Amino acid sequence: MDTFPQPDQREALDSVVIRFAGDSGDGMQLTGSQFTHSTALMGNDLATFPDFPAEIRAPAGTTYGVSGFQIHFASHDIMTPGDAPDVLVAMNPAALKTNLGDLKSGGMLIVNNGAFIKGNLKKAGYEQSPLDDDSLSGYRVISLDIQAMTIAAVEEFNLGTKDALRSKNMWTLGLVLWLFGRDYQPTVEWLQQKFAKKPEIAGANVAALKAGHAYGETAELPSGIGPYEVPKAKLEPGAYRNITGNDALAWGLTAASQLAGVKLVLGSYPITPASSVLHALAKLKSFGVTTFQAEDEIAAVCAAIGASWGGALGITTTSGPGVALKGEAIGLAVMLELPLIVVDIQRGGPSTGLPTKTEQSDLLQAVYGRNGDSPLCVLAAATPGDCFYMAIEAARITTKFMTPVMLLTDGYLANGAEPWKIPKMADFEPFEVEFPTERPEGFHPYLRDPETLARPWAIPGTPGLEHRIGGLEKHFDSGNISYDPDNHHKMTKTRAAKVQGIAKDLPEQDITEGDASGDVLVVGWGSTYGAIVQAVRRAREAGGAVSHVHLRHLFPFPRKLGEHLRNFKKVIVPEMNNGMLSKMLRSEFLVDAQGVNKIAGQPFKVSEIEAAIAAALETVQ
Amino acid sequence: MSPSEPAKKLTRKDFVSDQDVRWCPGCGDYAILATIQRTLPKVGADPAKTVFVSGIGCSSRFPYYMNTYGFHSIHGRAPAFATGLKLTNPELDVWLITGDGDGLSIGGNHLMHILRRNVDVQMILFNNRIYGLTKGQYSPTSLVGLRSPSTPLGSVDMPVTPALLALGAGARFVARSVDTLAKHLGPTFIEAREHRGTSFIEVLQNCPVFHDGAWDHVKDKKRTSETMLMLEHGKPMLFGDKDGPQKGLRLKPNSLELEVVTVGEDGVSEADILVHDETNRPMAFLLAGLEPPTFPMALGVLLREPAPTYDASVLAQVEAAKQQGPTNLDELLHSGHTWTVE
């Protein structure tokens, strides 16, 4: 066996993808997020993809109870959590069974062989242990009894086997931190803070973490296995932090309320994967944020609308099934012409669908999913950090145009993390709202600003502006209930024109990547951003005349989008749905936009989009 | 809500909007509307700070006829809109207008939750035991056997008693009155308005088109002394013809039931009659379920039990948090682990 290389002999790697996989009770999400944290501190660019089952504690050892966390980190800027892992950590047979197929051939496989006992093997569907035959010969396998080593490491704490084994994720983390030259100290501090009231649990976890790290240092690993280093990425100078989409969203909404100069009132009902936005905002009361956990999705949006009428920034956060329930109330907000932000953190559908998996299949529901002609503005965030900016954009539009705005993100953005350059609040233009206080001549609630067509935001409590609003059609000239046929036609056209008019307020659609004309245009929206950017870059490096347009405003579409579509021979639209933006583009612009659809509850791999681009290029050549 | 004194003395006219009232001739809603419009100026209500929020149904057209702020929302959801509004501006005097269909059927969930939370609003439930606006289907308060377009052979649903439901949901103020009893209805609205928290008022209301006479067994003028029990806090629960023998309610011996007794008969004296205590929740439960012909209908304040309001408690947490901070967004964005790229 070779001697163990010294730290300065670490092999430098450009980028690495690691996937931690284990039982949902094994603490894989914690392991992944702590590794992410240490990696961010090392100055790498990174992207993560937590993937967990809907069951809180699925029966131990089953394949459907496997929880995974993938991190991609590199010495250059990266956009996605990576297509295939270079390193797979499998804490039990089920984790191995469900994840091995993704591991690169020749990839590193760290296996906790202590869990490869008869019962677990059977639950995972193995006739015999894959560690005992040659089925893993295509990988670099590190087979360790992590359980036994964890128990030995925490012996002094007298915890009992069950409690002692809870620290096995920290032992594993220690080993992987060593393997990639990461510091364990931030995790030690985190553990001591998290278990401040249970010092023996903190102690055991720290002991396990250090033991795993020490094992790497002292054990003689097989030849060709580590250790590695991944040099710092060249990121734009500035202060950085890790951020998930849901945290960015909560902070962005709070920032938006300050920029608008109104208080934020959130009505929300717990739903995966949106609940953590409610949790995050509930912690921000010191910023004047009021959160209301309503009795159901409908009450949540209604409370937000009531708050908006009262002069607050009314917001509701939910996922697809919640949007379906809120539909009638959102239609009311369209009719009332009040500000309202509805955030839909999309998940796999229809119905309950795949609650913890990602999808983009609520686009048509967002744009069209209400009774009557009821247009509203629809936006979509492209990255976790972009959720912050799009929350502000949603608030700007909803208050300026007195129209509901639906902001789409998805489960992948919600839970995925990326290093985020922290913005300065002073760099944002405030958009303070004005509540009328004087009664103008001929006041009624539907008097419109001639330019934006927005009605005045007159709030209860203002003397002289008493008025009645409601879901019945109102007369254009008086604001009173009206069943007049011509008036309904006029009001419907006016509401549509108001929302279409938002396009005039937006910058023209830019080309995200590539030239303004060419062979293939890839049009995307939402969380597919990273995968599309990388796929388009690779295609361009290979000489393809390919460009990328990424939409953050989906209704109305930004100006110049139609022109871009017509400047390419072929338009393809990768979406995590069965073809929604492609339908909208076809109906709006009469172009032959072709869908590239993945409906697997999983984000696109770069290679999948590359293949679609290659196929499209072939048809135009 | 605490009344804020407007500069000039207002009258009923100041609370009447310029909209034509479009209820059917003879509808009980007219009487309730007139009583509100007469009562609000009496207590110094400010139209600018008064808000009527409704759902859908005949009664829910109410806000259009009040010259205050008004919000005609969607079916059953008025409590949720009102909750959001009160969390934004707790100074507003908010009245919810709902009906037996709107409040107890499609909006039953929201009714239950606003009551248990104790949001500071008045909630008036117009109970006519029928769906009026959709043309006469039976409602959650219709009695078994009611023939309607949707129950041609008679309804088989057991009805709900609104005041019992409210008490069960934890309401702290429960009252009951009658559309045409202006002298009782007006003061009941004042009591409700003065109470902090959700004040629930059931108003027995007649729909002359689809369910005429639904409350005749209570309202029949010749018999009201027998069919109505006017509750007064601290007074014995007596009723009956003034000229005839006085009847009263007492607790049936060895039971948790009420019974009607006649003062002077079977050795019953006035001292045996139960005294109304509007702070006694178990008594409110017993009273809420009474209905002629066996018992009189209990009218007035059944329960008044002050408690912290939801809106005040939520906003107190926000205010306390503001004192503690952080309040600077840049500080928030830099909280936790950060690093600098040179």
Chain A residues with CB under 8 Å of B51 CB are: 460
pLDDT tens-place string over residues A108-136? 999 999 999 999 999 999 999 999 998 99
pLDDT tens-place string over residues B28-79? 999 999 999 999 999 999 999 999 999 999 999 999 999 999 999 999 999 9
Confidence at B211, pLDDT banded by 50, 70, 90: very high
Chain A CB within 8 Å of residue B113 CB: yes
Strands lying side by side in the sheet with A546-551: A546-551, A518-525, A568-575, A593-597
pLDDT of residue A2: 40
Chain A CB within 8 Å of residue B340 CB: yes
What the block records as the tokens of A266 is 């959130």
C-alpha span between A338 and A458 (Å, rounded): 10
pLDDT tens-place string over residues A141-171? 999 999 999 999 999 999 999 999 999 999 9
Among candidates B69, B74, B315 on the partner chain, residue whose Cβ is nearest the Cβ of A460: B69
| Residue B2 in this model has a pLDDT that exceeds 60 | no
Chain B CB within 8 Å of residue A243 CB: no
Chain B CB within 8 Å of residue A485 CB: no
- Put simply, the chain A residues between 261 and 300 with a CB less than 8 A from any chain B CB are 263, 265, 267, 284-290, 292, 294-296, 298-300
Chain A residues with CB under 8 Å of B336 CB are: 241
Q: How many CA atoms lie within 13 A of B336 on its CB side?
A: 12
pLDDT of residue A52: 85
Chain B residues with CB under 8 Å of A253 CB are: none
Q: Could you tell me how many residues make up chain A?
A: 621
Chain A CB within 8 Å of residue B47 CB: yes
Burial B166-189 (b: 16+ CB within 10 A, else e): bbebbbbbbbbbbbbbbebbbbbb
Contact A248, A257 (CB under 8 A): no
pLDDT of residue A3: 40
Q: Looking at the domain covering B12-234+276-313, what would its CATH class be?
A: alpha beta
Instruction: Tell whether pTM > 0.95.
Output: no
Chain B residues with CB under 8 Å of A41 CB are: 337, 339
Chain A CB within 8 Å of residue B51 CB: yes
pLDDT of residue B1: 44
Among candidates A290, A294, A425 on the partner chain, residue whose Cβ is nearest the Cβ of B314: A290
Inspect the interface and report whether the beta carbons of B333 and A251 lie closer than 8 Å.
yes
Chain A residues with CB under 8 Å of B338 CB are: 239-241, 422
pLDDT tens-place string over residues A400-410? 999 999 999 99
The distance in angstroms from the start CA to the end CA of chain B is 58
* Domain boundaries, given as residue ranges, for chain B: 12-234+276-313, 236-275
Whether the ω angle into residue B326 lies within 30 degrees of 0, i.e. cis, is yes
Chain B CB within 8 Å of residue A252 CB: no
Phi and psi, residue A30, nearest 5°: -65, -45
Contact A81, A603 (CB under 8 A): yes
Inspect the interface and report whether the beta carbons of A306 and B84 lie closer than 8 Å.
yes
Inspect the interface and report whether the beta carbons of B88 and A286 lie closer than 8 Å.
no
Mutate which of B20, B49, B71, B114 to disrupt the A interface (most A C-beta within 10 Å)? B71
Q: Is the complex ipTM more than 0.95?
A: yes
Inspect the interface and report whether the beta carbons of B339 and A240 lie closer than 8 Å.
yes
Chain B residues with CB under 8 Å of A371 CB are: none
Chain A residues with CB under 8 Å of B48 CB are: 460-466
Q: Which residues have a Cβ under 8 Å from the Cβ of A432 and sit 6 or more positions away? A: A259, A260, A261
Inspect the interface and report whether the beta carbons of A310 and B109 lie closer than 8 Å.
no
Where does residue A198 rank: exposed (0-12), middle (13-18), buried (19+ CB within 10 A)? exposed
